[in-house]
Amino acid sequence: MTLWRKSRLVARLAAVCLALATVGLAAPPTFATPSAKPPQADAGRAAVADPDAALGAGWRKSSDVLVTGAGDATGFHLYVAREKDAYAWSTLATLRSSALDLGVWAGQVCVTGSGRYAVAVYAPAMAANKPSLRNGGGLAAVVDIATGTARTLATGVQLAYFNPACGPGDRVLLTRAIGADGRETDLLAGDAVSATVTGTRRIHAQLTTPAPAPDGDYGIVNGSLVRVTVTGSLRQVARPSGRPYAVVATAHNGIDLLSGKGGQAYAERWSAGSLRPLGSAAVGRLQLFGLPGGRSALVGATGAVGRAAELTTVPADRQVEAISTQGHLVAERVLSRAVPRGATGASRTATGGQVAPVDVTVRATGSGRVSTGTIATGRAPTLDAIPVTGKPAGTGQARVAPLDDEGTPRCAVGRNDPRIQALQPSANMVEWAADQAVHGRLTVGRPANHLRTGLPAYSPQGLFPLRALAGGGTVPAQLLLAILAQETNLAEASWHAVPGDTGNPLVSDYYGNRRTDGSSDIDVINYPGADCGYGIGQVTTGMAVGETTFTHNQQIAIATDYAANIAASLNILIEKWNQLYNDPGGRTWLNDGSPRYIENWYLAIWAYNSGFHPSGEAGANNGHWGVGWFNNPANPIYPYDRHRFLDDYDDAAHPWNWSYPEKIMGWVEVPQRQGGDDAYSTPTFGTAANDQLYLPNNEAPPWPRWFCTAANACDRQVPADDDPCPAESDACWWHGHLDIATCASDCATERLAYPAGSGEPVIDRVYPRSCDTLDYGSDEFITSGLVPIVYDLNDPGDYALGCSMHPPNGKFTLRTGSPPDIYADLGQIDLHQIGAGYKGHMWFTHVYRPIDGIPATSNANHQVTATWSPDLEGTGHRRYDIVAHLPSHGGETENAEYVVWRDRTTQGTPGTCEIDQGTGSIFDEQGEDKWVYLGNYDLYPGARVQLNNLGDGQSDGTVDIAFDAMAFIPIQGTGHQCRDPF
């Protein structure tokens, strides 16, 4: 989600990545139509160097295959590497949703027992920030490993490390957490062959790590292995040695488990009514995977693991991402460069809105040989799980929930409004604003009509005065910066805008993702269900139509001005601290309670994400109150063997493996990198801290029972109490005081990069600001007279970047949806405005193939048609060179077909010109603005040029198409030809 550079086309990107791949791993380009068998990688360019030595003599005849996934802004991609190809990589499938424009995707994959299918649960990574989406905001799909064909299995499933769960056959289990703290569970049984959910059972308990077995379904409840009956009731069958965090069913020999306690991981097998040990190692040194054929694999420090039927042991010195179906290869790292990096990671920039390269490290388990390199994501069968569609339920397409009475959005600040454009700040500006805001000095003056929004003059903390912190003091700047990093990767505008651009305001959920009964369901386009989180701090409360927390001017400032948003976000954080400090039932706090120490904010961050249950409501909640179970680090939805967040820089690719406070504290310790540099400063760590924060963790007792007291009916002194929240009720809510550190020596304090009163820094642009005006004076064919230029905005006053403008000579229209009178709103979902192009504004969308069986003119899902209609002189015809402007970024299709209608009718054959919109070079992703000829034409009054986003049968929505300015140059003679450079 750090969106700083424009990629080239998929084929060119593949070529670049192949050239840059390190020795040992090749990246052949891959292409396939959605209905075709996916291409096999070229075995002549082996992914594993010297495969005879690394893999053994029989590798050419092996059926071993590794399937894994990685996400970028275009979707969650599944990759396949086959041993018979020396594990050369190709793209198996792309899973996405055009209705969810929320940045980088993340997901998890398992392979069914037959080895025929991969099952994935995936969602925008941003969903990890919202408890409702964590509980039920995931999509599930089945992918045929032989063909890449992908089908939707389920929607509204839990985003957790144990989803999906494959078994010995082609049966798969999925979970959906019920209630704010997820204390009940829907268990969904799916059939991979038919890609259908065959049944759903409501479990009146928190069930984790499900496992489909030949004799029924199993899982973990309150620390015990349980069997789930056909009615959803539970039968306890075993109590593992520690807290379970991995469960795999074998075909014939029972259930294998991993559990942790006291820093040790225990591998055990339940079979024939008893539990027997398989071995143990330090926590983090053993992993458990299911393999096809009903086998399991223990990976890690396996020297102390005994032999057992249907069990494979694979030594490894670090945790791995995936294992091949026969255990011959492990993937130690599969990381897209679109994933935000911590300071310990590589300093590459990510790709904004485009397919991103993927860094891969694999190890052959037989020889131990390691290969590293970079692979390219190729074109592959694509599943648009939630298309933008108006078709009703039951037609095979996602449904659209009824809108409110007026059919208008719930969120107060709209999308695709040229008068509402947010400026994308650079990291230096964000750090400056945070440093000023926490000390009440964010008072920079914004002039009237700032960013052309029509607002009167204001200052950020004039609109949102700094609230007082209960007990005095200030918020540490690094804490605020870490929240902004986790929430939006420091972005105020849409993910598609790079620093220096304007764009649509960043809104986490503009179109809604809830059913009308209020339950979470990410496959519903439902305006009333939108939560309306805006901008860099994801300000939600007060941002809906009719809400009175903010005035409409304040709402616009929050949506468009990063500094105003930071000022408002800071007050929300302060409110959470004050809630915990001032509750009449007593203060909830850590350590010495001083706000100057970052560690002391752990509980306020907890409440910031999942709320605080005040003591005044205890009477309705069995006497309980405090911070909820969802973000408790002991909650089993987080794997017991996780390390500190960002100990490894690919942790951000698995955002639902850590609680929200753990992630925030991780971004405090390890700043994000943008453009090769740390995006903000690290804090001043305590003298005994070794550049780390003192936090609740699993590296020392009493974890995971830090928050285990009489307040939530938890007794630390009972050895059998391995489950830190024994009560199946709201007793898991915790309040009170806990000492973790001696803050005077151990805790961290803020470090200001910009002293109080510093002026706003200059924006660090990715692309230079261009206000150049079309210069046509050197055209040898030009005649005197008017040169009509049609902008992509009809009112020059809507251009937000301040370029000097002359009046437009014509009209520009965008028609969204087809027919637009029915589907106009739906067509807006995948349309975006960016402050790039001629004079600093252009539109773009993605190229899609027409819907099967429906004429291209009836593509209601995605169709966007742009029309440039110039004001031409006179009443007769005249010859013109037509010149289209191509932006430096935002357009990349090689096949933009411009259609020229010579007069106001649609009679006769129009002229056409197909243009490659990409403006960068193969070796330099930085593009530049330029003009290109569409050819010369005799034009009459009423002439116009049209361009739409309908491609061919291979178009899958991963390639951008731009709509920018158009010039009509009167000429004499023959003029220029299509694609002539300007």
CATH code for the domain of 804: 2.60.120
- pLDDT category at 3 given cuts 50, 70, 90 is very low
For 269-350, where are the alpha helices, taking DSSP H only?
A: none
Does residue 484 contact residue 537 with C-beta atoms inside 8 Å? yes
Compute the half-sphere exposure of residue 259: CA atoms within 13 Å on the CB side of its CA.
27
Average pLDDT taken over every residue of the chain? 85
- Verify that 700 and 798 share a domain, yes or no: no
CA distance 807 to 803: 13
Within this chain, do residues 624 and 685 fall inside the same structural domain, yes or no?
A: yes
Q: Count CB atoms within 10 A of the CB of residue 300.
A: 25
What is residue 310's predicted lDDT score, i.e. its pLDDT? 96
Q: pLDDT for 73-92, tens place per residue?
A: 889 999 999 999 999 999 99
Same domain, 103 and 12: yes
Tell which wins on pLDDT, 40 or 980: 980
Residue 223 shares a structural domain with residue 333: yes
405 vs 465, more confident: 465
The answer to whether residues 339 and 428 belong to one domain is no
CA angle (482, 485, 488) in 5-degree steps:
145
In a domain, 410, yes or no: no
Query: Which residues, other chains included, contact 503 with Cβ-Cβ below 8 Å and sequence gap of 6+?
Result: 421, 422, 424, 493, 494, 496, 497, 832, 833, 834, 835
Strands 88-96 and 382-384 come out as: parallel
Domain boundary among 746, 779, 804: 746
Whether pLDDT at 859 is above 70: no
HSE-CB at 153 with a 13 A cutoff on CA atoms is 37
CATH code, 120: 2.130.10
Give Cα 22 to chain centroid, integer Å: 28
Assess whether 906 and 851 both reside in one domain. yes
Identify whether residues 380 and 428 lie together within a single domain.
no
Whole-prediction pTM:
0.90
Residue 187 sits in the same domain as residue 322: yes
Q: Is residue 392 part of a domain?
A: no
**Model pLDDT, residue 680:** 97
In a domain, 647, yes or no: yes
Q: Are residues 136 and 254 in the same domain?
A: yes
Confidence check: pLDDT of 20 > 90: no
pLDDT at 180: 83
Q: How confident is the model over 715-730, as a mean pLDDT?
A: 56
Domain assignment present for residue 395? The answer is: no
In a shared domain, residues 112 and 206: yes
Distance in angstroms (rounded) separating the CA atoms of residues 89 and 30: 9
Residue 760 lies in a domain: no
Q: Mind listing the pLDDT tens digit for each residue in 342-400?
A: 654 433 333 345 678 899 999 999 999 999 988 888 888 888 776 554 332 222 333 33
Whole-angstrom Cα distance, residue 476 to residue 716?
Answer: 33
Number of domains forming the structure of the chain = 3
Do 185 and 331 share a structural domain? yes
Residues 177, 276, single domain; the answer is: yes
Which of 267-276, 479-488, 694-703, 817-826 is predicted least confidently?
694-703
Q: Collapse the DSSP code of 712 into the 3-class scheme (helix H, G, I; strand E, B; otherwise coil) and give the result.
A: helix
Q: Is 800 part of any domain?
A: yes
For 124-175, the pLDDT digits (tens) are 999 999 998 999 999 999 999 999 999 999 999 999 999 999 999 999 999 9
End residue of a domain, out of 384, 403, 436: 384
Written in H, E and C, the secondary structure of 68-92 is EEEEECCEEEEEEEEHHHCCEEEEE
In a domain, 779, yes or no: no
**Domain of 682, in residue numbers:** 422-746
Domain end call among 360, 384, 408: 384
Whether 555 is covered by a domain: the verdict is yes
**Would you give the distance in Å from CA 619 to the centre of its chain?**
40
